[in-house]
Amino acid sequence: MQTILTFVARVDPAKLASLERFLEKIQNFKPPGQHPDLPLANLKKLHFGSLVIFKDPAAKYDPYLVFENNFDGQLDEHLDALLEHGAAGLHQIYDHCFDYGATGPQDRAAIAAFLRAHVVRPHAYHIGNAGRSVERIQQEAELLDEIERFLDSTPRHGFENTSPVSLRAKVQQFAEDNPALAWAGHTQSRLTFAERFVPWVKLISVGLIALLALPLLLPFLIIYVVVLRRLEKKDRTDIPPPGDEQVQQLAGSEDHVVQNHMASLCYVKPGKFRRATLRAVLWLANLVARVSYHGKLSGLDSLHFAHWVLIDHGRRLLFLTNYDGSWENYLDDFVDKASLGLTGIWSNTMDFPRTRFLVCGGARDATRFKAIARQTQAYTNVWYSAYPNLTVKAIDNNSAVREELFGSLDEEATRRWLWRF
């Protein structure tokens, strides 16, 4: 079980610069994630964590500090770990925020109370490697490395006339002989039956209910579409070319490892109609995401953790994602594979390229879509990944190697298993 949530706090504008400096110290600390005040690497159940300051260009809102947490288990346990390792850092950070009352790092109850009061849970989220804990992901990566090294240690001509079955037996033998890999023999299922089954029941029921209620809903649907089209024709699409300094700052922090982080905050278009539409779309997206537990969301196989949440009474949409590959590739993938879903969500936010029927057009205007994506993106002040060089696909491959290491496989399955190396 994984939990995705953020702590969203308002930063005192007078203390903004000081907060930025402190976060920069944490981010630049080497080795990464081990700054003594906030050693996120010590949180053994934390997959990804980030701290992002969102400054409102329209100055309607105070700057926000969003602390993203993607972790194994439940909030209580996570809070304990956070306070145990990072009370000093948390106190220094939140001392820059409004409504914070702790007297010092030792005042853990007050820090915890503050964090609890500022928890924001997502309206929609996706997990690329569902059901795998940090520990399991790291162990299985090590297993793969060990086996690869074992296979390399045999001379090039050594395996030429070995059958797939006896090759696998050699690998099994190697794993059994290695006490450090003893855990590999205990198979763990990724998701429980209920975790796999219930989301499908929900999705199908919703589909059936919608189908049955269609005759009743139809008149409302027609009115909805008419209103939507009228709004879409008038929507403002005011997209300036991307600003150099912003792009340079954002791009400069990207592509240092295999994964990247993206944080964005958009204004939702004015009016209840758009706010309600966006809530409905996110609700639907979440239903779909819950059954997308095989590593892909709408064809995208590069998302580790992604989530959407409406804040400020539905007036702003926060999006946080930890993904594989370059920003350019990520956005292209979004446009190529998930244009409908992407447009369905962001067409309800300000200045998105012009859409038709909520999901058409929009992101297809790729140049301007990327421009607005950069403009709404914020610089990630602190970012931590527990496994920065593993892709979603690699993690899945490693799991499959482990799950099929022992147990019976027929000849064909054995060959396919060997292709995983």
- Give the residues lining the site for other proteins (CB under 8 A): 148, 151-152, 156-157, 159, 162-164, 167, 237-242, 244, 247-248, 251-252, 255, 258, 299, 301, 324-326, 328-329, 332-333, 335-337, 353-354, 364-368, 371, 391, 393-394, 397, 415, 418-419, 421
**CB-nearer residue toward other proteins: 189 or 326:** 326
Task: Count CB-CB contacts under 10 A for residue 94.
Answer: 24
The CB-of-31 to other proteins minimum distance in angstroms stands at 15
The CB-of-390 to other proteins minimum distance in angstroms stands at 8
The CB-of-278 to other proteins minimum distance in angstroms stands at 22
Our CA dihedral for 232, 234, 240, 242, rounded to 10 degrees, sits at: -10
Tokens of 80: 């304990």
**CB-nearer residue toward other proteins: 173 or 329:** 329
CB 50 within 8 A of CB 58: no
Residue type, 277: T
Q: At what angle do helices 193-212 and 272-291 cross, to 10 degrees?
A: 140
Radius of gyration of the chain (CA): 24
**CB-nearer residue toward other proteins: 202 or 416:** 416
**CB-nearer residue toward other proteins: 37 or 324:** 324
DSSP lists the bridge partners of residue 2 as 72
The CB-of-137 to other proteins minimum distance in angstroms stands at 14
**CB-nearer residue toward other proteins: 187 or 326:** 326
- From residue 331, how far is each of 127, 170, 235, 369 by CA, in Å? 18, 43, 23, 9
The CB-of-256 to other proteins minimum distance in angstroms stands at 8
CB 93 within 8 A of CB 381: no
Spatial CB neighbours of 274, under 8 Å, sequence gap ≥ 6: 231, 268, 348
The CB-of-408 to other proteins minimum distance in angstroms stands at 18
**CB-nearer residue toward other proteins: 76 or 255:** 255
Report how far residue 371's alpha carbon sits from residue 325's, in angstroms, rounded to the nearest whole number: 19
Residue type, 317: L
The CB-of-255 to other proteins minimum distance in angstroms stands at 6
The CB-of-398 to other proteins minimum distance in angstroms stands at 10
The CB-of-420 to other proteins minimum distance in angstroms stands at 9
Spatial CB neighbours of 273, under 8 Å, sequence gap ≥ 6: 227, 228, 231
CB 419 within 8 A of CB 162: no
**CB-nearer residue toward other proteins: 314 or 361:** 361
Report how far residue 107's alpha carbon sits from residue 229's, in angstroms, rounded to the nearest whole number: 54
**CB-nearer residue toward other proteins: 3 or 397:** 397
**CB-nearer residue toward other proteins: 28 or 248:** 248
The CB-of-94 to other proteins minimum distance in angstroms stands at 34
Judged by DSSP in three states, 6 sits in strand
Spatial CB neighbours of 232, under 8 Å, sequence gap ≥ 6: 347, 354, 355, 356, 357, 358
Report how far residue 172's alpha carbon sits from residue 179's, in angstroms, rounded to the nearest whole number: 13
Write the burial class of residue 406 (CB in 10 Å: 0-12 exposed, 13-18 middle, 19+ buried).
Answer: middle
**CB-nearer residue toward other proteins: 36 or 158:** 158
